[in-house]
Structure 1
């Protein structure tokens, strides 16, 4: 949210001018930096009203807050305390980044940077008079050391103007944990220590930097009293949006553009089944024959992911060599389990698979050519969408064979601080040792560690309740990506996880839009079902993100990933639905062209009947009760003459294929919203109440069905829908 910049901050200071020159900020980044410092000075942010810097995952938030540091130094701040996630790797990465950013100022003795745990015991007054930056992990010992430095060893520092920059603020600063014995929510220890500092420093400002601010905005208005202390809520005083650069690739690529079958994004997601994730947990010789890894069906996706990564890296390196550019190194990430035994097994499987690939290449075994050809055909579907040279199969085959024989691939397990520290390069990023690097790990890979040129992502972390910040931090394939790299990227996960991530992307987008429009306090409604099946307001901090649905104007909701029941069992129900629709269409109901109104209760009954005729495939679900709840909510959301009704649009004798041209379950059985098809008509009539499109499909066997006609429902939200997050389940 931009503010007009008054002549209250200095823009010509040495720090900011040097950064402007060296980093070449564009206009939007400069405005974000200047607006943020202006707001920090203007608002005099306090412990319970910090400033918020909101960016997307891997979108340049660090670069922006370092610019804010520089401008802050020019405008009276003497000490900047950067709070990082509680890992040595992140602290080191941040420390190195700050040193690099302010190298010229440090050479001129204008500034000093310290990791708080390495702060000298004899910091001289001459040093303390320079601009200072402390890197502090959000961890007990670090926080205690910071308190000691400010109030015991160097008390003069506590009287200086201090800027706290809380990086990934949602991670620890305001998190709650449940105390089941006392039945209250209490702040974690780190949050309490940060609050304690906030209360005792006379002149400090607070900026929280995050890509997932929901734990800040969407927490209770008042925190609970615990141990005779009242903790004030952390609600941002202002929000500044980090501009997204033109190379940023995020959820819109993986979830929105992916719905366009003609876009390269439609080829990125590859679905894996839960039973293959079971194979990834531990070695089971009944399931996995270690000498036949190139042939086994139950590990087909991990094998495909490995081969696609090798082939994709080879395509990009071939393209770079052809254009005279430097050949880059690439990375792939396997993130399915937290346990070290699982990681060791996965590394062994990858190494054995690579060894068997190399052996098959040396012996000219037909399986090697078959695997490379299948990968080439898959990747070229998206590579062909980018305006770059395209290798022939023979050129690519030679490239891949050479890479395999010369051992261009290396795998590394990263499941501890020690592993990370040994694998980091001089910049604090995971080192890419070879042209092709596979990183296998768990939680340690979640925490913001930069992984360069990531084009392979095999993901299977499936907690019972997904948390917004956790899932988005797992999304390591987000960030600055050349489209040529995106074209060879493949993302492997289960349909369930993909669907949850898509919902979280929608949730993130809706709230971000609300922040940008200034409506984050009232722009998104949170609702849930009560025991009486009524829709009631819901406390946002009680939402389980694996159980949310976003409703917004003209959004479609429909079941996908199903087979029909057998004709013998469903024909009677299908015929009954048909007769009911004919009866209502011929009755004296309100009509708009082909659309007609029926009471929402009748529409809900139709969904129940249709649900009885469909069988969901593994990994797919259609919670008909949720759709009925949303149908009721949307039909009663506005006071109008149509309140309590639903527009019905019927189409018959459709012959949709069960799978689309990419081999996935069909998800668009309705005709386009060009004003002529049923979706266009639905969006035209659905202004104050929803529309329900009912498509009668022939269900022919040659189209992948069971030869039984069926009805396919599509719910379309009304135009006047207020963005709403519906939670089918909440945290008690």
Structure 2
């Protein structure tokens, strides 16, 4: 039995088995991935999936397949989070009965194995841990003549160089590079659901992947299109915008929306218990990044639970009506929900026996807290953003805001994504402004995945609204980052026409004074005939083509606007191209991809060759920024 076949024995779902097999086959047979790996060189790749879509299972499948390809030493790197490191270690231990699976403290087990079995070591991305294992690898001599396979989970989180703009190297980045160099041959596989920072590495960076493999989630997955679709889905309950501030105010006694979310959760817990659906149900609250705010909210939760119990004990009609309101809300999507009176009695019993447990989870919390059992209300911040899973997460209360949200950070907060949820009972409480932000992020994520899937990693760039930053600034080399901003006119001062005859043939029929409608593909065709004497500083049609494709995908555009005008006398290296009249016309195309093509006379006295040529001016839809790395 192969290692991959043995790993399949731990997977119950045929759908997941097929997906894991497909991904592993693609990685190890495609020639542009590891199909032609020579076991002598260093290479890197990117495994891309959705948030909580089964990336760990795919990682393990790739490790098993790599073991069948004679790789013997595997490192799995997790974020510097003991809870997540232990979660990954235990899963590896359960999944690989024919491997030597080591915790980061298991140096003796690593040595005693003496490579009899393939070895997997699960490490936090912590400087001291990485240094220790670099030395272990070197001293053991196990990698002499053997390749190393590193799987970097959440590779965009801590692995990249945070001092890239200071002409220096950050500690974690240096340590990972040092480990990669312990063997003359290494495969470094980055894994993430938010590849923005990875994609914005320079082409010469050792952390820019040479290939990417995207795997689609399974059919039962609840993701961005479920929670943040247009129109607004049933699972969204809009809270008051002011709750963003009042919930973390210890002196604020009006916590209407928090109370409603708790009541909704109590109904769901009772339904789970009465129907024997599950003995675990979780409620996640993300109020802010600050630990002191978490303490305030957790205290309010405890007070609210006590008040609910007291009101039920006192036979208060108001609390009964409030609970029934939530029951009715849930009944609209779960018609078979248990009768309200049964739900009400169950809630009373659960509260009386303190079965609803509030928890605070942050950097000061114990690492061994588990949410795999019981009915839990969890309050936290950054630590909730990556990797940590919450089974049966049915209720979410999200209030975190930022002046300039980072796309990757916010998308990682989508802990509600996943498989083991009852979709008819899931509810997401958030203000409308935050819901709109996540809608925007969902559209950007879909456009990004489409670009990667269709065009590969080299032709993929990023497109976001101007009020959203794709990732943190300190891991992107700013002097190599270029942007194309929507609403801004870009023209070529040094245009080259690859085929003047072809351009004349397709453009002259559009000659006129007005912007005319045409297809997106026609705009791309025009751009493909254009080049520049200075691609780096003047005009690069390849980048504009990518920008057009992404803008069209993101905005679901099928048509663009085109104006063609002939007979222009413009000096070479001019500082402006458009006439005021044409500038006014294109500026009115606020939501369109718009292109103006001037046919110049090309007079020698104006600096040209004496032959006619076409000069382009393009403008993307307002409000977007297209990011590209040189």
1:499 aligns to 2:436 (yes or no) = yes
* Cα distance in 2, alignment partners of residues 177 and 461 from structure 1: 27
Q: Which residue of 1 aligns with 2:62?
A: 68
TM-score, scaled to structure 1: 0.63
What does residue 561 of structure 1 align with? none
Give the secondary structure class of the aligned counterpart of 1:463: coil
Report the counterpart of residue 171 of structure 2 in structure 1.
189
TM-score (norm 2): 0.73
Aligned to 2:346: 399
- In structure 1, the partner of 2:215 is 242
Which SS does the other structure have where 1:116 is aligned? coil
After TM superposition, give the deviation of residue 44 of structure 1 in Å: 4.8
Counterpart of 1:534 (choices 489, 510, 531) is: 489
One of 72, 81, 84 as aligned partner of 2:78: 84
- Structure 2 residue aligned with 1:580: none
Structure 2 counterpart of 1:167: 153
The match for 1:306 is 262
2:511 aligns with none
* Equivalent-residue separation in structure 1 for 2:114 and 2:85 (angstroms): 22
Secondary structure of 2:9 counterpart: helix
Shift of 1:212: 1.4
Q: Which structure 1 segments of 5+ residues have no match?
A: 1-11, 106-110, 223-231, 261-265, 289-295, 425-429, 540-548, 558-597, 606-627, 641-719
Inter-partner Cα distance in structure 1 for 2:315 and 2:338: 21
Deviations 1:285-312 (A, max 9, x none): xx32xxxxxxx4xx11111111111112
Aligned residue for 2:105?
117
Match of 1:673 in 2: none
Deviation at 1:371, TM superposition (A): 1.0
Alignment of 1:531-680 (within 5 A): 533-535=488-490, 551-552=551-552, 555=555, 601=584, 629-631=590-592, 634-636=593-595
The Cα of 1:63 is off from its aligned counterpart by 0.7
Deviation at 1:630, TM superposition (A): 4.3
Structure 1 position 377 matched with structure 2 position 349: no
Size of the aligned set, in residue pairs, is 510
CA deviation string 1:341-392 (max 9, x = no partner) = 22222111111111110011111111111211221222222224xxxx2333
Correspondence for 1:423: 369
Give the SS at the match of 1:412: strand
Which residue number corresponds to residue 425 of structure 2?
488
Query: Does the 8 Å CA contact 2:147/2:183 hold for their aligned counterparts?
Result: no
Q: Distance in 1 between matches of 2:222 and 2:63?
A: 26
Is the 1:550–1:724 Cα contact (8 Å) retained in structure 2?
A: no
- Residue 457 of structure 1 pairs with residue 457 of structure 2: no
1:343 correspondence with 2:294: yes
Cα distance between partner residues in 1 of 2:109 and 2:44: 31
CA distance in 2, matches of 1:600, 1:727: 20
Per the alignment, residue 215 of structure 1 pairs with: 197
SS in 1 for 2:430: strand
Judged with a 3 Å threshold, the aligned counterparts in structure 2 of structure 1 residues 448 and 78 are, in CA distance, closer, same or farther, namely: same
Equivalent-residue separation in structure 2 for 1:119 and 1:487 (angstroms): 47
RMSD over aligned Cα, in angstroms? 3.5
Q: Is the 8 A contact 1:525 1:725 kept in 2?
A: no
TM superposition shift of 1:721: 11
- Does residue 445 of the first structure (1) align with residue 384 of the second (2)? yes
1:518 to 2:500 alignment: no
**Is 2:273 aligned against 1:317?**
yes
Structure 2: gaps spanning 5 or more residues: 464-481, 492-535, 540-548, 558-580, 600-617
In structure 1, C-alpha distance between the alignment counterparts of 2:64 and 2:622, rounded to whole Å: 40
Question: Helix, strand or coil for the counterpart of 2:238?
Answer: strand
Q: Cα gap change, 1:724/1:276 in structure 2, threshold over 3 Å: closer, same or farther?
A: closer
| In the alignment, structure 1 residue 96 sits paired with structure 2 residue 96 | no
Shift of 1:197: 2.8
| Aligned match of 2:408 | 469
- Give the whole-Å Cα distance in 2 for the aligned partners of 1:523 and 1:134: 33
Residues 1:730 and 1:371: Cα distance change in structure 2 (over 3 Å): farther
Q: Does 1:23 align with 2:11?
A: yes
Shift of 1:241: 2.0
Taking a change above 3 Å as real, the CA distance of residues 420 and 268 of structure 1, as seen in their structure-2 partners, is: farther
CA contact (8 A) 1:525 1:722 kept: no
